[in-house]
Chain A
């Protein structure tokens, strides 16, 4: 159960600031994901944690010990790569035993640890095969067993599931999460796959431009993100442009065309431009009479589990999603009302240009 913290970690390549003054604390036994689009600095961060890249500035601490410039082989970390990086010229047992061999462990004990690691990933019996004789999913398990065998202080996962097909990936998420909980091993996952990050993590750090834009539990970062970036990057969202209007009674609303949407108090000045965000699943289709907002359905999409309705409304273009409970609620071209619960329309901090 090792804690880890990154303090002011930065890395620049020439003029490009890949990681910019990053601060992050990871609890012992926590599963934390660095989630972001490619080029957001998540992989560079992991490389610095693993010791493959020296940072330009800042520190990496494990249990309070400064390991910023310690060579990778002395860090006691386990890393699983997207490519699995198995040693093709060694058997599965030799692969899994490699880290132990480097630690000069004696034969019988080494054998025992290899067996234990392989049984954890349910691969017992494949010891004498070579990586080329295994399926993608099995190779992935070998890569995991190989790092678990050394009982690392921190487990680093670099997009480890990207090469698996969707079904297998889903199974691996559940299995790896259960294994991580059971072993209580501090884990950092780097991924661009938000479903992966949400299903596995205790906390997610959403990254953009070398910085953390959003940090919190999966539910926090999805439901109540602070940044516009997280709103746009995670799931789907509707953006509504309006302006602030404060009533005489002191309640704040956002005026969009002729409609007025009550929101929680905002610091923005009277008449100031403001953006509202709302998730498609927080909007409901209702009868057009007496509804806050009306609109005409331009497109209806069926995705199996849900329906999507794209609606041209009084307050702009909106997407509404509704669970598929047997029949569609409305047809294309129909005029419908749109409703939501108070608090579902949210304000976020605008994105600032990176500099």
Chain B
């Protein structure tokens, strides 16, 4: 008998996990390594290291402005989605009303509908409404496609919550609104915040639909990168990607340190 512990993986499971991890990480490693190339094209393996493609980012103002646009767009649409999701989650979780299932299905539907279809539809819709190139319209459609994420996490937080605390607050003299702001909202905050973070990431990352509605004035970073790689194929895309990978890791690390990732992503208390 070997003295293998019961919580250890067998050799097959271990091999599977290693392969899976390698498979997930390999493309990221390739991108990071390629970004340090000194050639004019994306090359692997490279034979000369340089930081020229990082300097190059600074000479590409369209990428920098696309980055800020993406940040603003993600911020605004995640916030708008949260503003929609909180009352919707409260209504769906706590009341039985006509059309409840329909409202729920409608708010969740953007997750089911292919983004390509949404992209084509909104391209047409924007031009009819004269909204083409409007940042505000971009916020609306991004909020629409990210709202299911916000709704799911907020709903989980509301369903797990007893009404007693809110009732106790009412009985102690708090109006409906004060009880919401002082008691209910803080209690569901982990869910709302987790939903917001997911929405932010989804919006920032969205390219399939955005590519249809983006105009030269409203180009997001993923769309800008897509265009650049389609026309130029220089390693700037890899250096930008590396900056984003590092930025995300730092952001996630900070989030975990400050509030705990479990709390944000699973809505755990």
Enumerate chain A interface residues (CB-CB to B < 8 A): 50-52, 71-73, 75, 77-79, 81, 83-89, 98-99, 102-103, 143, 146-147, 150
Minimum distance in angstroms from A92 CB to a CB of chain B: 14
Q: Does B173 contact A (CB under 8 A)?
A: yes
> Could you tell me the distance in whole angstroms from the C-beta of B187 to the nearest C-beta in chain A?
7
- Whether B173 contacts A79 by the Cβ 8 Å rule is no
Query: In the bound complex, what is the Cα–Cα distance between A103 and B171 (angstroms)?
Result: 12
Report the nearest B residue to A88, measured CB to CB.
Answer: B187
**Extra 20 A-B pairs, beta carbons < 8 Å, given A51-B170, A51-B171, A87-B183:** A50-B171, A72-B167, A72-B170, A72-B171, A73-B170, A73-B172, A73-B173, A77-B171, A83-B162, A85-B165, A85-B168, A87-B168, A88-B165, A89-B186, A98-B174, A99-B173, A102-B172, A103-B173, A146-B168, A147-B171
Complex CA distance for A50 and B169, rounded to whole angstroms: 12
A150 touches B164 (CB 8 A): no
Q: Which of A50, A81, A89, A102 contacts B173 (CB 8 A)?
A: A102
In whole angstroms, how far apart are the Cα atoms of A50 and B166 in the complex? 13
CB pair A79 B171 closer than 8 Å: yes
Q: Which residues of A contact B168 (CB under 8 A)?
A: 79, 81, 85, 87, 143, 146
Contact across chains for A73 and B175 when beta carbons are under 8 A apart: yes
Contacts of B22 on A, CB cut-off 8 Å?
none
Contacts of A78 in B (CB 8 A): 171-172
Give the CA-CA distance A177 to B187 in the complex, in Å: 33
Q: Which residues of B contact A79 (CB under 8 A)?
A: 167-168, 171
In the assembled complex, the CB of B95 is this many whole angstroms from the nearest CB of chain A, namely 14
Q: Are B171 and A89 in contact (CB under 8 A)?
A: no
**B171 close to A73 (CB less than 8 A):** yes
Asked if A52 contacts B167 (CB within 8 A), the reply is: yes
User: How far, in angstroms, from A51 to B172 measured CA to CA in the complex?
Assistant: 12
The B interface, classified by DSSP as helix, strand, loop or mixed, is helix
Cβ contacts under 8 Å, B164 to chain A = 81, 83-85
Q: Is the CB of B165 within 8 A of A86?
A: yes
Nearest Cβ in chain A — how far from B172, in angstroms? Answer: 4
Taking CB as reference atom, which chain A residue is nearest B189?
A89
Q: Which residues of A contact B186 (CB under 8 A)?
A: 89
Q: List 5 A-B contacts (CB under 8 A).
A: A52-B167, A73-B172, A83-B162, A86-B165, A87-B182
Task: Provide the residues of chain B in CB contact with A85, threshold 8 Å.
Answer: 162, 164-165, 167-168
Most chain A CB neighbours (cut-off 10 Å) among B164, B167, B168, B186? B168
CA A87 – CA B182 in complex, angstroms? 9
Q: Which 4 A-B pairs have the closest CB atoms?
A: A102-B173, A85-B164, A99-B172, A85-B168
Closest to B174 in A: A102
Q: Is B178 an interface residue (CB 8 A)?
A: yes
Identify which of A75, A87, A88 contacts B171 (C-beta below 8 A): A75
Instruction: State A85–B187 Cα separation when bound (angstroms).
Output: 12
How far apart sit A99 and B171, CA to CA, in the bound complex (Å)?
8
Nearest-Cβ distance from residue A148 to partner chain B, whole angstroms: 11
A106 → chain B closest CB, angstroms: 16
Q: Please name the residue on chain A nearest to B183 by beta carbon.
A: A87
Bound: A327/B268 CA distance, A? 57
Nearest residue (CB) in B for A149 is B172
Determine the distance from Cα of A150 to Cα of B182 in the docked complex, in whole angstroms.
Answer: 18
B175: chain A residues at CB < 8 Å are 71, 73
Task: Give CA–CA (A309, B165) in the complex, Å.
Answer: 48
Residue of A nearest to B166 (CB): A85
| Assembled-state Cα–Cα distance A296/B94 (Å) | 58
CA–CA, A51 to B187, complex, Å? 23
Cβ distance A156 to chain B, nearest Cβ, rounded Å: 8
| B172 close to A147 (CB less than 8 A) | yes
Report the nearest B residue to A104, measured CB to CB: B173
B172 A150 Cβ-Cβ under 8 A: yes
Distance A102 CA – B171 CA, assembled complex (angstroms): 10
Interchain CB contact under 8 A, B178 and A102: yes
Report the minimal beta-carbon distance from B264 to chain A, rounded to whole angstroms. 16
Instruction: Name the distance in Å between B22's Cβ and chain A's nearest Cβ.
Output: 42
Cβ contact of A87, chosen from B165, B170, B173, B178, cutoff 8 A: B165
A146 to B171 CA separation, bound complex (whole angstroms): 11
With a cutoff of 8 Å between Cβ atoms, the chain A residues found around residue B182 in the complex are 87
- CB of A196 to closest CB in B, whole Å: 20
| CB-based nearest A residue for B162 | A83
User: A98, B187: Cβ atoms under 8 Å?
Assistant: no
Q: Is the CB of B172 within 8 A of A146?
A: yes
B96 CB to closest chain A CB (Å) equals: 11
Chain B nearest CB from A4 CB (Å) reads: 15
